[in-house]
Structure 1
Amino acid sequence: MSTLPYISFNKPTNPLSINQQGFTLVELMISLVLGLLISAAVIQVYITNVRAVTLQEAGSSIIDSNVFGIPVLEEHIRLANLGLADTINDTSAGAGVVLTQTGNLKDIKLTGDEDVPLTLLTNTGDVTTKGTGNQWSAKTATNTASGQLTIQFRAPQDMFDCEGRHALGPRAVNINKVKKVIDGQIVIERYYLNAQDASKPNQLSLYCDAGKYITEFMDDYSEQGDTDKPASVLTAKDRIKDFGDKGVVVVQNMDYFDILLGTKKANDIRYYTVKQYMDLTDKPDVISVKVGGIVRSNNVVQTSELSNKFSVLGNNIALKTDATDVEKKYLRFAFQNEIALRNARPKPSI
């Protein structure tokens, strides 16, 4: 008998029978919750940082306006009435705060022999006569109408007006064939709010529109100017050149702007709007100007803790009711400063 060979059959390995190591459902849920908590913390830190950065940028833009823009305005206001009238009121010819055409700008006209309209002179928000186009129209991004300040002064030396154009100081000209030194050109400047983009009427900036004129007789008016500086070349007396256009931006992003006229009679110091002052029977001389406004940031701030109500020059100011949600998210700063008119010389009290 033959012997059959021995054959060994090994049981195949079942891969499913190997013990596997991994996360249990509980562990997986715990890790998922921890991951979500960490992600939420990271997102919260990111949001906080974004808010801090936008707030910093907003504050920086407002500081820029306070450091560079508003001081330029104040510096020019301090020049008001330099070399002109003895006192500042609505009747004195050449007064540094220009309130009237017939009094302060007597015999002075625009190029083309046009009278200077009231809407190019000093006005406060309570004045009802308003202009169109680039004239003062009380534009504002708030519930309170804005004003306009118009000043004038003689250039003490060759200088730049608020639009960056040349104005000439004292210089020699021929008068009756005799060489004489005349005073500097008279610079007239108005500060008012206007929109840089007409399609965004609530996004305003403080503009300055400047012109200049002379009042002296001379043999040849062309010689009083500098041909290398075309803006300084005037061709006739008592005619304002380059006044009444839009002007240039002095302070960006200003929602509201107005002024008060400071007066002193004996020891009584008072402040008036233009309408209040013009309604007085006995008008005291103006010795100072209070300017106030609301400056907003260049960028929106990612926070809900923003105030949209302010107090400026005794008025309670709030944004317009039609302000958009985005317009309400700008950082805003209210300012008001009093500027003494050192070139105003009030008559002594008797």
Structure 2
Amino acid sequence: MNSRQQGFTFIELMISLVLGLIISAAVMQVYIMSVRTNTIQASSSNLQNTSVFGFQSLEHNIRLANLGNDTTSIKSDTGFGGIVLTRNNLPIEGDFLTRSGGGVTNTNVRSDQLTISYRNISGRTMSDCEGNNVPDGTLVVERYFMSGTVPNLHLHCDSGHFTGNNLGGLANGSARLGAGDVEFISNVDQFRILLGMQTEGNNPQITFLSPQAYVNLGAGSQDPIVAVRLGIVSRGGTAILGEEGATQFQIFGETNTLIGNAANNAQVRGVYESNVLLRNARVVHTTGRD
């Protein structure tokens, strides 16, 4: 007696294969969406950390500029001036001065450099941007600049200490300007600054200029610096799958375009700007009566 064997027909087999492919594709799509969502969340968290911690820490440090200086009017010839623009402010090397452009960048506009100085008059030990202890009475010079290998750039800080009014040499070891630097804000594509000078008179106004434009005015034509405008383009730490990231950003009203490998990396990016008023660089206006 012959036994009859039954199995899938060709049509049933094809239907099973198609259903399997559909289910597999759906599972893969869910997986890809999950990975993409997690990546976006991680990159957004990185940007948030930049805004909440890194950028606010930068603002806090800049507000210390000119602390402990008897002269509150900051110009390019102010001794111990809180914004170090020339060797008339502090006799340090030219590469360490505040300057427009010249810094590495991931955009078509070169990054700026900001150098500030302040003296610890708090009566206690403070910390500089590198985490070094600053004894009471010490003059601190902090330089903020872009560093790294394109496109993996970050905002760095380099700090140096003067003892008393001896400007002939900086402190030795880790407290020496140029001896080393630390990563201050991670994943930054560009760093820009403008200096806010306040006109003297009955109707004072603040005008923002690039460091070079301000220096070019000459000390005799400069109004005192009372604010610093900060701007950075920050990026997430991870590329986003299946995403075309923005390549143009507005900083201080100017369009900045990503270039090179940075333009090909689909990463979450954000622009952060802030006006920092210098508490220790006030312009006092007096009015008289008949």
Structure 1 length as normaliser, TM-score? 0.74
Which moved further from structure 2: 327-336 or 139-148?
327-336
- Following superposition, the deviation at residue 51 of structure 1 comes to 0.5
Query: 8 Å contact 2:195–2:211 — kept in the other structure?
Result: yes
- Following superposition, the deviation at residue 246 of structure 1 comes to 3.8
Give unmatched runs, 5+ long, in structure 2: none
Give me the whole-angstrom Cα distance separating, in 2, the residues matched to 1:271 and 1:73. Answer: 19
| Percent identity between the two aligned chains | 37
1:343 to 263, 276, 280: 280
Query: 8 Å contact 1:215–1:238 — kept in the other structure?
Result: no
1:147 to 112, 116, 128: 112
For residue 30 of structure 2, what is the aligned residue in structure 1? Answer: 45
What does the per-residue CA deviation read over 1:140-182, in whole Å, with 9 as the maximum and x for residues that have no partner?
111110001100111123111111111111xxxxxxxxxxxxx
For residue 97 of structure 1, what is the aligned residue in structure 2? Answer: 83
Mapped pair 1:31 → 2:16: yes
- Following superposition, the deviation at residue 294 of structure 1 comes to 0.9
What does the per-residue CA deviation read over 1:33-92, in whole Å, with 9 as the maximum and x for residues that have no partner?
111111111111111111101111111112122222222211110111111122111111
- Following superposition, the deviation at residue 258 of structure 1 comes to 1.2
Query: 8 Å contact 1:51–1:301 — kept in the other structure?
Result: yes
Structure 2 length as normaliser, TM-score? 0.89
Shift in CA distance, 287/202, structure 1 to aligned 2, threshold 3 Å: same
SS at match of 1:147: strand
For residue 113 of structure 1, what is the aligned residue in structure 2? Answer: none
Mapped pair 1:158 → 2:151: no
Give me the whole-angstrom Cα distance separating, in 2, the residues matched to 1:276 and 1:251. Answer: 27
2:178 to 244, 248, 253: 244
SS at match of 2:130: coil
2:265 to 328, 331, 335: 328
Give me the whole-angstrom Cα distance separating, in 1, the residues matched to 2:152 and 2:48. Answer: 19
Give me the whole-angstrom Cα distance separating, in 2, the residues matched to 1:247 and 1:95. Answer: 22
What does the per-residue CA deviation read over 1:220-239, in whole Å, with 9 as the maximum and x for residues that have no partner?
xxxxxxxxxxxxxxxx5542
RMSD: 1.8
Bigger radius of gyration: 1
1:77-96 matches, cutoff 5 A? 77-84=62-69, 85-96=71-82
1:261 to 171, 195, 198: 195
Shift in CA distance, 165/275, structure 1 to aligned 2, threshold 3 Å: same
What does the per-residue CA deviation read over 1:122-147, in whole Å, with 9 as the maximum and x for residues that have no partner?
1122xxxxxxxxxxx41111111000
SS at match of 1:124: strand
Give me the whole-angstrom Cα distance separating, in 1, the residues matched to 2:26 and 2:267. Answer: 27
Give me the whole-angstrom Cα distance separating, in 2, the residues matched to 1:215 and 1:25. Answer: 92
Query: 8 Å contact 1:163–1:209 — kept in the other structure?
Result: yes
1:279 to 206, 211, 216: 216
User: 4+ residue stretches of structure 1 with deviation over 3 A?
Assistant: none
Give me the whole-angstrom Cα distance separating, in 2, the residues matched to 1:314 and 1:117. Answer: 32
What does the per-residue CA deviation read over 1:190-222, in whole Å, with 9 as the maximum and x for residues that have no partner?
000011xxxx33211111100111344xxxxxx
- Following superposition, the deviation at residue 324 of structure 1 comes to 5.9
Give me the whole-angstrom Cα distance separating, in 2, the residues matched to 1:246 and 1:142. Answer: 26
For 1:295, the aligned partner's letter is: S
For residue 150 of structure 2, what is the aligned residue in structure 1? Answer: 201
Query: 8 Å contact 2:244–2:266 — kept in the other structure?
Result: no
